[in-house]
Structures are given as structure tokens and as C-alpha cells.
Amino acid sequence: MTSTNSVGIVETQLFTFAEDEPFCLESGASLGPVTIAYETYGQLNADRSNAILICHALSGSAHAAGFHCAEERKPGWWDECIGPGKAFDTDRFFVICSNVLGSCYGSTGPMSIDPRTGKPYGLNFPVVTVGDMVRAQVKLIDHLGIDQLLCVAGGSMGGMQVLEWAAHHPRRVKSAMPLATTAYHSPMLIAFSEVGRQAIYADPYWNHGDYYDAGKKPDAGLAVARMVGHITYLSEESMHQKFGRRLRNIERYGYEFDTEFEVESYLKYNGNAFTRRFDANSYLYVTKAMDYFDLSQPSGSLAAAFAGSEHVKFLVVSFTSDWLYPSYHSKKLVSALMAVGADVTYLDIQSSWGHDAFLLEVETMTELLRSFLGRLVREEAVALPSSAPKPQMATTSRVSVIAAEKDLPLAHEALA
Amino acid sequence: MTSTNSVGIVETQLFTFAEDEPFCLESGASLGPVTIAYETYGQLNADRSNAILICHALSGSAHAAGFHCAEERKPGWWDECIGPGKAFDTDRFFVICSNVLGSCYGSTGPMSIDPRTGKPYGLNFPVVTVGDMVRAQVKLIDHLGIDQLLCVAGGSMGGMQVLEWAAHHPRRVKSAMPLATTAYHSPMLIAFSEVGRQAIYADPYWNHGDYYDAGKKPDAGLAVARMVGHITYLSEESMHQKFGRRLRNIERYGYEFDTEFEVESYLKYNGNAFTRRFDANSYLYVTKAMDYFDLSQPSGSLAAAFAGSEHVKFLVVSFTSDWLYPSYHSKKLVSALMAVGADVTYLDIQSSWGHDAFLLEVETMTELLRSFLGRLVREEAVALPSSAPKPQMATTSRVSVIAAEKDLPLAHEALA
């Protein structure tokens, strides 16, 4: 299933922190052992200046590109933007993606074995924050021998990690791409998180998080949580386009409670599929980390959070139909960044795809990311890795001029 | 708890259809016996021309105004607009509100006894539609000796009933007020309905709808359904105003899964409170009726649905922050009504309260409804009931001029 512009067959790797260094969490708890699952694509250049960290969203994994084996049907979650000649060009950049702390794709989380009991942590796993997730990534970057990332990029919860890097580890990043995200989780986001958690708590098979050795998991509750999430990732308009009021496999109403509408079928399918790939306890922990995220604290000023980030180059992107992370969140972020004199490029992209647009608007995103990265390569004189094919010039595109417009009104015209 | 402008102590009444007339449903099933619970406020005038039917939303009841007893803490659900001197002035109008078929507040629904088994229907209750709900209301109006309603009014699902009256029983209504509603349930609305239903199905105490004689009800599932609903009735902005990121009764994060944020507490409280007043099976039936609602069918043309309604005077209202029933739904409706030459007044009211605005923007709604009804009273020469206090002139207000502007662009300036 690989193609010419794919990174091809890749393998998830594991990095376990040194045992003599306990990993201290924001809560005050300490955690150990800690393992972080990660993948890398492309090669480090001689001066280790071409590394890009990709941060995943709620349900993502380290598997951002390529295939784990020739039989794998779907590539990694951001394969459309990571690969030879793609937006994150692996002929040019060394791309890293790691699974967040608390998740269930190889990094330490509630499914992992608690060394004190020899059993899975369950709810004994400590609550982690986006700050904790990022500090674990910092240790991974140290382990890989990278002093400074050329770029850290991600959408949704991935974008929160990007902002955390820029705010709290500014010396370690040259540029940051927070996409379809926010600097603080809004009450509506907290509300949707909490509904998902309540759906899991309500499932008797959840059993206060202690289900790993039981025959049944809280699949019904997790499916409901995912269905709620799925609605919020779409827009009213995209749902009209995708489903309308079409019935599935029937001509007229059945006057019963079977699945009748296409949209119901889609939600049920995705809710059920999710239970085969995600852990309910991880859903609790990762959503809780998002709810706690608020860069404006403790000072109350978002600009204060970025006081040391004035040298970081930012590409901030929002999407007009994203009602979950509305554009005004990005605009507030941009105002804070400009207040500290950071170099900010901001686009509010016209799209009907809702929050999912950051993954679905591939052409626009490719043009935009390539242009931004091309400028970085020129300005930072980033060398190619030794094994790279002959250099390509960064694409000249309409969006490459936007960086110069940062004193103009924040909402730029949409790309075509 | 009554006040001078309250309708005072009221009683819910029951009307049971004649046993020899089976009530045929759109599905083809027939239902009987059928009882409709209703309340009335004010008095019919001599020529029975001052009757207004109020239609309730998903979880509403016939108890729209006043108190059931002196000790009742909260009045009926639309008490702020129904009473002496209020928008629906009970000194002038005879106001009726009935509980919809399929609900659980006295009208026949899944909690009612199935005469074939002597036990509650549960899922043996036939699926009903908004059309069925309204035909039951028509029988109630017949029973009350009213040939033509001066007005039928309601928001959300109440507005769907209003549109059903205007489209399918146009000779029975002089005017219609569909508020914060739609002529067809959108895929996003269906999606939220289905998530709520899935949360109920996932509760083992639901037991395929057979729980009335069991010790436990599917409260956890119903609470999750209600929590999802509650989020959709608010707006991002109103949630910021109401809750922000405030913690409840704690100074800082507890790093545990307790209820910590105000918004979580609000949702949980309302979700749990709902289980004490509403039946889970009714939630399934009423949401299903909403999902089936699509006045553009079977012709595919919304205007065709209103072909016989050209004499009905419409007041259509939407709210700018209502993302569940967005303004463009009302604008499509207005276009269809104007295509058949109906008399339409439309307002898109600037409000930050989301879908709930139709209940919360009391001052604006009062001014608007009073103006529209005042015009009706003048144009239709509606006489006062014999026992009425001396007549008041309809308030002269800024919005009274809007009826004349119906050829102007659809989105009027917001009221202050």
C-alpha cells in the first residue's frame, strides 16, 4: 500500500526514561518507569537543525506517516502532509512524532503496569497535563540529541502541545505551528469532555477504571463519548454535504428505533470502531489534560505566558467553520503573541469542514506549511541531510507573502 | 409564590378521545385510548376568536404558566410570557397548552398502560410524528369548541408543531409564530438526538424499554442524553459568561476525576435533575418525532408544503447565536413562505444566549410578541372576553413597524 511519496514501512520505537530520574508531574506526583512511543521519518542533518516534532490530537498516536507493514490498509494519521516532497518534506526534514503520556499507543498510561501492584494502573494512574506531555517530549528530544527543534506542529490538542513548547520551552524551538487550537480550553470544550467522561462512568463495565482483567470493557460508554466528539469535529454544513437527511438502505421511515439515517449509521460505526482502538481510561486522562490546559494561568495574561517566546516564529491557523475551536481563540492567541513582538503569520481559512479541516484541507495546508517551512529553511540556512536528493527550491506561492502582512488585520482572505 | 401578573393557581386537565374513534398515526398504526393533558389560561370570548395555542419543546409539558399549588417553587415553563398584561395577555386571550403525544406529562406515551397487556407500553408504543402530535391537538381544539386559533406559537420542537399546523391545518389558524426552529431536522440535530438515544440504550437499566416495574431506571443514560442536549441549548459565548473556566468550591486543580469546573457541575446537576422529571422512553419517542420532521417532503419543496397557508400571518424568529437551529433555517423558511405570498414578519435577533434565547430574551420577546398580537387584534377585530378588565392599547414599539418591511432583506437589525 506504499506509494512513491510515502515514507514507506516504519516502526514505532520506544524510549524509556532512565530509572534513576523520577518524572515529576505538575500535580506533584512522580511517575516511573516512563516509556514514550515515537516514530521518525527522514534523517537528521549534520548540525541537527532540521528536526520537526509533530504533536497528535486526542485519539492520535506516534504513527503519523507511512505503514507498519505492507498489509496495513491505512497509513499514519497525517500521511497526507508527511513524506518525500510533501508539506513536511522527509527529504529535507527529520520528522518526529510521539504518543502522548496518558494515551494507549505505547506511551505510559492507565493501561500500563503499575510497578507497585504488577497490574494495570487504571485510575491509580496520576492525572497528567499537557505540560507533562510536553516535558516527556523534551526528554525524548534530548535522547535524540536534538538541542533545538526547527519546528513543532500540531492541530487541536496537538496545537496545545505546540503552544506549551513555545511558552515553556522557548529556547528549544525555532518555530511553532498551532493549528485549529486554543491557548485555553473553553467551557464548551470542557462541557463536551465531561459529557464523554460521564458516558464512560455510566457504563457498568467501566467499574471505576478497573476492567483490564475483566471479560468486558466499557465499550458502550466509550462509543457514546466518541460519537459526541465526532459531531463536534464536523460542521453543520459538512454534515449536510456528507449525509443530508438521507436514509440508509431503506426507502422510507421504518417507524422504529433502528438506525435509519446515514448520519446515525456513520456515528455508530465510528463510535464502535473507536472502542477497538482506544482505551476508555486513556480517554478520561487525555480529555482531563485538555480541560486543564490554560496558558493564561497563573498570571491571568496570555501575553505573559509568551514573554520568553519573542524569537519564535509562529504560524497560527484557524478555520471559519470550526465551532469547537472558533477562530476568535486563534485571534486572541495572535494578539498575545504580537504583544510580545513575536513573528506571527495568521490565517483564518475559509472551509466548510469544521474542526476536522486541519486534516482535510490538504491542498491548502500543504501550500501553507510548505511556504512557511521554505521561509524558515532560507532564513535559518537549514542544511539538507547528507543522504538527501538534490535540493528543491521552496515553492513560491501566494501564501508566502503573508508573513510580511502581520500588521494587517488578523483575518486574512481565505485561500482559494 | 404567585404574583399580581400571574395566572395564579392552575390545574392540568385531561381530554380522552372518544373510544369509538381510533386515532390513526402516520406510521399506519392506530392508538387508543388517547388522552391529552392540557391547561388553559384566560377566557374564551363570545365568538371564540381569541384562542392561542402554545406548543412546548422536547422536555416541556402542558404546564406553561402559573402554579399547581401555592407551594410550587417554579411557575410553568413560559410563565414570563403568559399572564395578565404579559406578551400572551390572559386578560385578552384564551391560552391553551397541551402535552405532546408520546411525552410523559399526562398525555398518552410509552409510560401509559397498553390496554392489550395491562402494562406500560414501553417500546410497544408506536412511533409518533410531529404530525401526529398536532392532529391530537386538533382534536383537543375541536373538543374545546374552537374552530380557528388566533395564533399557534412555540419554540424549538414547539415551532415544528406551529409549522405543522400552518402547513397541514391552515384553515384552523389565523397566525403562526415559529420561534428558534426549523422546517426540517438537520443532520446535526439528528446526530445529537441519536447520541442521546445511544446513551439511553447503553444503560443496562434501560432493558429495551422495559423498566417501569423494575427497581432501577436508566437514569445514568438519560442524564448523559440531557447533558449533551444542555450544551447544545447554550452558546460558546453564554458558557463563557455563565461559567468561564471557574472552579467550583476549590482553589486549584485537584488532579482527580471529581467535578471541578462550574460547567461540569451545572451539567451534572441538570442531567440528574432531569431523570427525576422525565421518562427515558419518552426521550426516545419525542426525539425520534423531531428527527422525522421534514415539511419539504414528500414533494421536495418547502414552498409546496405551505401552498394552502397564504392567508396565515407568520412571525418567524431566530437568534444569532443559536447554532443548533441556525438563522439560515429560518431564512429558508421565510423564503418558502414568501414564495406562496404569505404575510411574514421575520426577525433574526442579536443574542448571546444560543438556542435558549427564545426563553431567555424575555424583554425583547415580550415587545415583539405583544406588537405582533396587537396588530392581529386590530386587523381581525378580536373582541375581549366578557370578563376582561378594560382594554389596553397594544404597545407602540419599534418592532411594530417590521411587519411592513417584509420585502426588505431578511435579516433585520437586532433589537437593542
Number of domains in chain A: 2
ipTM summary value:
0.91
Pair (A138, A256) in one structural domain:
no
Q: Which residues of A touch B227 (CB under 8 A)?
A: 191, 194-195, 198
Q: Is A412 part of any domain? A: no
Asked whether residue B378 falls in the same domain as residue B258, the answer is no
Q: Residue A247: which pLDDT band, with cuts at 50, 70 and 90?
A: very high
In a domain, A414, yes or no: no
Q: Which domain holds residue A283?
A: 185-292
Distance in Å, alpha carbon of B262 to nearest chain A alpha carbon: 9
Asked if A179 and A192 sit in the same domain, the reply is no
The angle subtended at Cα B117 by Cα B112 and Cα B123, nearest 5°, is 55
Q: Which residues in chain A are contacts of B240 at CB distance < 8 A?
A: 186-187
- pLDDT over 50 at A32, yes or no: yes
Write out residues 356-415 of A within 8 Å (CB-CB) of B: none
A/B interface, count of CB pairs below 8 Å: 155
Q: Which residues of B touch A256 (CB under 8 A)?
A: 127
- A400 catalytic, yes or no? no
Could you give the residue ranges of the DSSP H alpha helices within B234-385? Answer: 236-242, 262-275, 280-292, 302-305, 327-339, 357-360, 362-380
> What percentage of chain A reaches a pLDDT higher than 70?
92
| Residue A90 CB partners (closer than 8 Å, separation 6+) | A7, A41, A42, A65, A82, A83, A84
- Assess whether A156 carries a catalytic annotation: yes
- Provide the β-strand partners of residue A349: A319
Interface residue A303 vs chain B (CB under 8 A): no
Mutation site, B255, B330, B353, interface A, largest A CB count within 10 A: B255
Shortest alpha-carbon distance between residue B191 and chain A (Å): 6
Residue of chain B nearest A293, judged by CA positions? B245
A184 touches chain B (CB under 8 A): yes
Record: contact B224-A198, CB cut-off 8 A = yes
The reply to whether A263 and A366 lie within a common domain is no
Query: Residues B334, B276: one domain?
Result: no
- Residues A56 and A99: beta-carbon distance below 8 Å: yes
> What is the pLDDT, as a whole number, of residue A238?
95
Quick check: B200 pLDDT over 60? Answer: yes
Q: Name which of B195, B253, B264 is nearest A224 (Cβ-Cβ).
A: B195
Q: Which residue of A has its CA nearest to B26?
A: A255
Integer Cα distance of B195 and A272 in angstroms = 13
Cα separations in angstroms, A239 against A88, A416, B89: 30, 22, 41
Is B156 a residue of the active site? yes
Chain A residue with minimal CA distance to B259?
A194
For A53-115, the DSSP string reads EEE--TT--S--SSBSSTT-SS--TTTTTEETTSSEETTT-EEEEEPPTTSSSSSSSTTSEET
Q: Where are the beta strands (DSSP E) in A229-379?
A: 313-319, 343-349
With an 8 Å Cβ cutoff, is A134 touching chain B? no
Neighbours of B317 (CB within 10 A): 26
Domain end: B247, B272, B292, which one? B292
Asked, for residue B8, whether it belongs to a domain, the answer is no
> Buried b / exposed e across A350-386, counting CB within 10 Å, b at 16+?
bbbbbbbbbbbbeebbbbbbbbbbbbbbeeeebebbe
**E strands present in B198-326:** 313-319
Is the same domain home to A193 and A174?
A: no
Q: B207 vs chain A: nearest CA distance in angstroms?
A: 14
A258: domain CATH number is 1.10.1740.110
Q: With cut-offs at 50, 70 and 90, classify the pLDDT of residue B390.
A: low
Tell me the average pLDDT across A110-129.
97
Please say whether the beta carbons of A261 and B291 come within 8 A. Answer: yes
Percent of all residues in chain A with a pLDDT value above 90, rounded to a whole number: 90
Same domain? A299 vs A280:
no
Do B195 and A227 lie within an 8 Å CB cutoff? yes
Each residue's pLDDT tens digit, B21-39: 889 999 999 999 999 999 9
Query: Where do the DSSP E strands lie in B150-222?
Result: 151-155, 175-179
Which of B322, B327, B329, B371 is catalytic? The answer is B322
Q: Name which of B127, B239, B326 is nearest A188 (Cβ-Cβ).
A: B239
Q: Is residue B411 part of a domain?
A: no
What was the pLDDT predicted at B1? Answer: 45
CATH code, B331 = 3.40.50.1820
Q: Give the pLDDT band (50/70/90) at residue A386.
A: confident
What backbone phi and psi angles, to 5 degrees, belong to A408? -80, 170
Q: Would the CB atoms of A257 and B284 count as touching at under 8 Å? A: yes
Q: Are residues A229 and A352 in the same domain?
A: no
Determine the pLDDT at residue A229. Answer: 97
What tens digit of pLDDT does each residue of B30-65 get? Answer: 999 999 999 999 999 999 999 999 999 999 999 999
Marked catalytic residue, from A61, A107, A112, A156: A156
CB contact residues (below 8 A), chain B span 35-74, against chain A? none
Is the pLDDT score of B407 beyond 80?
A: no
pLDDT at residue number A3: 61
What is the average pLDDT value for chain B, to the nearest integer?
92
Asked if the model's pLDDT at residue A196 lies above 50, the reply is yes
Q: Are residue A205 and residue A285 in the same domain, yes or no?
A: yes
In a domain, residue B415? The reply is no
User: Does one domain contain both B133 and B233?
Assistant: no
Residue where a domain stops, chosen among A250, A270, A292 = A292
Q: Assess A257–B contact: CB distance below 8 Å, yes or no.
A: yes
pLDDT value at A75 more than 90: yes
pLDDT at B322 over 50: yes
In a domain, A400, yes or no: yes
Consecutive H or E run containing B345: strand B343-349
Lowest mean pLDDT, pick from A49-58, B86-95, B239-248, B378-387: B378-387
What pLDDT is stored for residue A58 in this prediction? 98
Is B392 part of a structural domain of the chain? yes
CB contact under 8 A, A271 and B188: no
Confidence check: pLDDT of B4 > 90: no
The answer, yes or no, to whether residue A408 has pLDDT greater than 60, is no
* pLDDT, position B396: 34
For B98-109, the pLDDT digits (tens) are: 999 999 999 999
Residue at a domain's end among B292, B327, B357:
B292
Q: Over the stretch B355-385, which tens digit does the pLDDT of each residue have?
A: 999 999 999 999 999 999 999 999 999 998 9
- In this prediction, residues A296-316 reach a mean pLDDT of 96
Confirm whether B7 is domain-assigned: no
Distance CA B411, CA B346 (A): 8
* Predicted pLDDT of residue B138: 98
- Element (H or E) spanning B89, and its range? strand B88-89
Contacts of B199 in chain A (CB under 8 A): 199, 202, 224
* Res. A210: pLDDT tops 60: yes
Q: Does residue A218 share a domain with residue A171?
A: no
Alpha-carbon gap, residue B245 to B395, rounded angstroms: 42
What is the rounded distance in angstroms from the CA atom of residue B416 to the CA atom of residue B414?
Answer: 6
- Residue found under cell 499507543: A105
State the pLDDT at residue A170.
98
Taking 60 as the threshold, does the pLDDT of residue A409 lie above it?
no
Q: Which candidate in A89, A219, A322, A356 is catalytic?
A: A322
User: What average pLDDT does range B289-304 have in this prediction?
Assistant: 97
Closest CA to A314 of A291, A339, A337: A337
Mean of pLDDT over chain A: 92
Specify whether A258 is located in the same domain as A353: no
- Given A112, A169, A355, A400, which residue is catalytic? A355
